[in-house]
Amino acid sequence: MEFKDKVCVVTGAGSGIGREIAWAFATAGAQVVAVDRDLATLDRLTQDAARAERPLHVRGAVCDVADAQQITCTCDEVVAHFGRCDVLVNNAGILRRGALQDLPDAQWDQVLDINLSGGFRFARHLARNMIANGRGAIVHIASIAATQTHGGCGAYSASKAATLALSAQMAVEWGPHGVRSNCISPGLIETALSAPFYAIPGVREQRERLVPLRQIGTPRQVADAALFLASDAAAYINGHNLVIDGGLSHALIAQVPRPETA
């Protein structure tokens, strides 16, 4: 996939899936603006990019996506520096566990601020530039939790379900201006953060057994999907939710005992 000189903004790019997405766009020739609230992780990313065999163009931007003012500044800087934005990947997200009946307002607000409102604000700002240019692609990283909720995940599922609806609305409102909006819903993806959990004996095997492809996904597989949805190869794909879960979200019904297996 070719993104030579395209300007791509990726949020939550300091670690995990976002880092892999930023790296993948940069490797494909893009000028990447890697957004994260953590300067140290961004520094590691930009230094790795500068040291790569073929130097990659990655610029770090410290920004808390829960802070509307910081988002405005970051987006203004992107447009002032590059003159345009071609691709936005709304990836920054958090999961805070807790039973709904005990969920404090502050935690509900924090998850929605980061997972939903932050993505809306980034898209709103950068879509103005995309609309003026008559083209652009927005990819939101949602989750299979948007439709397959698991207990105790607090506001997470609600924030991801709302992301699907918001993306569809963007697709309808901004499609006539040449701006596409799509979602990716990853399933079980192993990142540096979840690696210690997978190192617990039995966890990987237990989880793999539930996935029809019998594998845990990788950040690179999510990044490949983001590249595709942002590319011209997906020029007629708008308002879609691409599920990347090895078939997991279709597997529940297979767990139900049947007369022949009971």
Q: Which residues bind ligand NAP (CB under 6 A)?
A: 12, 14-18, 36-38, 41, 64-66, 91-94, 114, 141, 143, 186, 188-189, 191, 193-194
Rounded to an integer, what distance in angstroms lies between the CA atom of residue 70 and that of residue 177?
A: 26
> Which tokens go with 75?
């987006």
CB of 31 to ligand NAP, least distance (A): 20
Radius of gyration for the alpha carbons in the chain, expressed in angstroms and rounded: 19
Other residues' Cβ atoms within 10 Å of the Cβ of residue 10: 34
Q: Where are the alpha helices (DSSP H) in the chain?
A: 16-27, 39-51, 68-82, 105-112, 118-133, 156-174, 195-198, 203-210, 219-230
CB of 113 to ligand NAP, least distance (A): 8
Q: Which of these, 11, 13, 14, 17, lies nearest to 191 by C-alpha position?
A: 17
**Closest CB to ligand NAP among residues 40, 253:** 40
CB of 124 to ligand NAP, least distance (A): 16
CB of 256 to ligand NAP, least distance (A): 24
**Closest CB to ligand NAP among residues 64, 86:** 64
Q: Which of these, 248, 244, 186, 242, lies nearest to 212 by C-alpha position?
A: 248
The verdict on whether 198 is a catalytic residue reads: no
**Closest CB to ligand NAP among residues 27, 191:** 191
Active-site pick, 3, 25, 120, 156: 156
**Closest CB to ligand NAP among residues 73, 94:** 94
Positions marked active-site? 156
